[in-house]
Structure 1
Amino acid sequence: MKPVARAVLALLSLGLALPAWAKDAGVPEAVPPRFEWPRLQVLEHVEANEIVEAGGVPVALRAVHVKESARELVQRFADAFRDQGLYVAPGKKQAQLANNAAMLTAFDPLRAITYTVILQPQPDGTTSLYLGEANHALAKKASASGDFAPLPPEARDVLRVNAEGSRTLSFQTALTGAQVQAFYDDALAKAGWKPGDEAGFYTRPGGELRLTHENSKTGQRAVVMVYQSRAR
């Protein structure tokens, strides 16, 4: 699975989905130019631009490794958002990430676009960045008709992400880890999936599936399933 695809769930579920505080943003009287990301000292393009669909919303994603420190970049992105007329919610309303990662989201109320950056500091002082743009003006209703695996009845906050060659399902549930595993051991076996050499990995002709789940900050079980097609 590509690095950008692995990061997309964090970006969308926490930042690129239309935030509740977006209603506080007023529409500017003048039409500002479209937002441009600040210039960076790029060491490596981890992943080129990729368009995915998450919850029915088209999202452009990019991952880069840059020379600047995360501490320096947080302020630079905040300034760039505000200087270019985007609405930035107060810090307490911004989502928080673990593992020393920082995230900042801004909203363009005129175009209904959210911009999110996740900053992951590296031991050498450099920073890995995930940049995302979600165009809510082009959103369409997400459908469960194409799901590659069933969801337990208790599933909530379901997010569907479709990218080239892969699809992702994530959700929260009150089930325990053992109950989640038992549900999918049964459901996947009935659908022809066979366990692989490592826990949570399944295969069948034409595809592979990875299941992960862990406790979340909400007290629920966070479940992520990734399906990837492969040549027969």
Structure 2
Amino acid sequence: MRVALAVLSGVFLLGAAPASRDGDAAAEGPAAGAVVAQAPVRAPQASGRPAAGTPIVAAGRAASVAPAPTTPAPAARSGDSAPRFAWPRLRVLEHVESSEIVEAGGVPVALRALRVKEGPAELVQRLADAFRDGGLYVPPGREQPQFASGAAMLTAVDAQRRITYTAIIQPHEDGTTTLYLGEANHALRREPIAAGDFAPLPPGASQVLRVGGESTRTLAFHVPLSARDVDAFYARALAQHGWKRAEGEADVYTRPGEELRVVREPGAGGQLAVVLIHRGQVPAPPGVP
């Protein structure tokens, strides 16, 4: 699950429409290859939902869960009176993963994953209502980028604080739902450092996104190559750096204390979308103590 959260942080960043510096919502287009949601969102109901700003808790049953971290908020400016958005109250069954803050493209992203009783349709509406009640900008359905088939994604923007809030909703056959929640603080963005990558990039790689966490790092990009060409490139390049293909797993490489997984999917414009997932301690470059 920690791997999933590291990958999702890149999705939260790319799928969100970050707020501009002058306080207006800078409407960015959907991420490359995204499927756009078409489901309409109903108007907010007069009652029957919790007030905006209420944290997610387990309703109607005891639960021992740690509060999720949040990305540090920038200093309040004159005229900032609205409270910072908090996720709505839901019936939480479990925290599927401990919360953490990772960096995606230079932007700090607070992540957590929950399993809740609510179904996807109810969650989409509850989240949309909470976003709007909290004064956030919610792009229309056709502008909401989608992460993958079988999961819905909803994003809202706090233009004043330059924070994007994204939820990925993944239903299960038993009627419960896994909910991935992310908060990306664009006000604290810093230029990502390209040096120190854990693996080489194939020729022609573009739209490169680097995500770093405590024990998992990811490197995502698009290339004008076939899946076979990418596999051949990494089989050769990784072997030169001491990696060996894991037994029985064609897309997994290992070396002492480390694991590297190569995930590739068809991308937009005939390109291939590739995500490299690294787990373990990255050795220091030669000559670096």
TM-score (norm 1): 0.91
Alignment of 1:149-168 (within 5 A): 149-168=199-218
Give the whole-Å Cα distance in 2 for the aligned partners of 1:70 and 1:120.
Answer: 7
Decide which structure has greater helix share: 1
| Higher fraction of strand | 1
Residue in structure 2 matched with residue 64 of structure 1 by the alignment: 114
Check conservation: 2:19, 2:159, Cα contact below 8 A.
Answer: no
Structure 2 gap ranges (5+):
29-78, 283-289
- Aligned equivalent of 1:117: 167
Contact 1:208 1:230 in 2 (8 A): no
Superposed, which structure 2 residues align to 1:3-14 within 5 Å? Answer: 3-14=4-15
Instruction: Tell me, in whole angstroms, the C-alpha distance in 1 between the residues paired with 2:150 and 2:239.
Output: 38
Separation (CA, whole Å) in 1 of partners of 2:268 and 2:105:
22
1:124-175 per-residue CA deviation (whole Å, 9 max, x = no partner) reads: 2211100000011111101110200111231111111100012110111111
CA gap of 1:118–1:19, structure 2 versus 1, over 3 A, is farther
Q: Percent identity?
A: 57
Partner SS state of residue 22, structure 1: coil
With normalisation by structure 2, the TM-score equals 0.73
Aligned to 1:142: 192
How many residue pairs match? The answer is: 228
**1:217 CA displacement:** 4.4
**1:4: how far off?**
2.3
What secondary structure is seen at the aligned counterpart in 1 of 2:11?
helix
**Contact 1:47–1:63, Cα closer than 8 Å, also in 2:** yes
Shift of 1:30: 5.5
Matched, 1:22 2:73: no
Which residue of 190, 200, 208 corresponds with 2:240?
190
Higher mean displacement: 128-137 or 185-194: 185-194
**Residues 181 and 19 of structure 1, relative CA distance in 2, 3 Å threshold:** farther
**Stretches of 4+ aligned residues off by more than 6 angstroms:** none
C-alpha distance 23-99 of structure 1, shift in aligned 2 (>3 A): closer
Relative distance call for 1:12 and 1:24 in structure 2 (3 A) is closer
Q: CA deviation at 1:103?
A: 0.7
Deviation string, structure 1 residues 30-65 (Cα, Å, up to 9, x no partner): 531000100110011101221101101100001000
Tell me if the contact between 1:168 and 1:226 (Cα under 8 Å) persists in the aligned partners. yes
Partner of 2:151: 101
| Aligned with residue 222 of structure 1, among 249, 273, 278 | 273
Shift of 1:107: 0.6
Alignment of 1:122-133 (within 5 A): 122-133=172-183
Q: Deviations over 1:198-232 (max 9, x none)?
A: 1111111231111111212443101011111169x
**How far off its partner does 1:6 sit?**
4.4
Q: Distance in 2 between matches of 1:125 and 1:164?
A: 33
Deviates more, 1:217-226 or 1:155-164: 217-226
- The question of whether the paired residues in 2 share the 8 Å contact of 1:13 and 1:159 is answered with no
The RMSD of aligned alpha carbons is 2.3
Per mean C-alpha deviation after superposition, the further-off stretch among 209-218 and 54-63 is 209-218
User: Alignment partner of 1:160: what SS?
Assistant: strand
Maintained 8 Å contact 1:214/1:221: yes
Between 173-182 and 90-99, the greater mean CA deviation after superposition: 90-99
With 206-215 and 113-122 compared, the bigger mean Cα shift is at 206-215
The alpha-carbon distance between structure 1 residues 230 and 140, as it changes in their structure 2 partners (threshold 3 A), is: closer
1:86-113 deviation per Cα after TM superposition (whole angstroms, max 9, x unaligned) = 1111111110243321111011111110
Structure possessing the higher radius of gyration over alpha carbons: 2
In structure 1, stretches of 5+ residues that fail to align are none
CA contact (8 A) 1:70 1:119 kept: yes
Question: Is contact 2:12-2:184 (8 Å) kept?
Answer: no
Give the corresponding residue for 1:204: 255
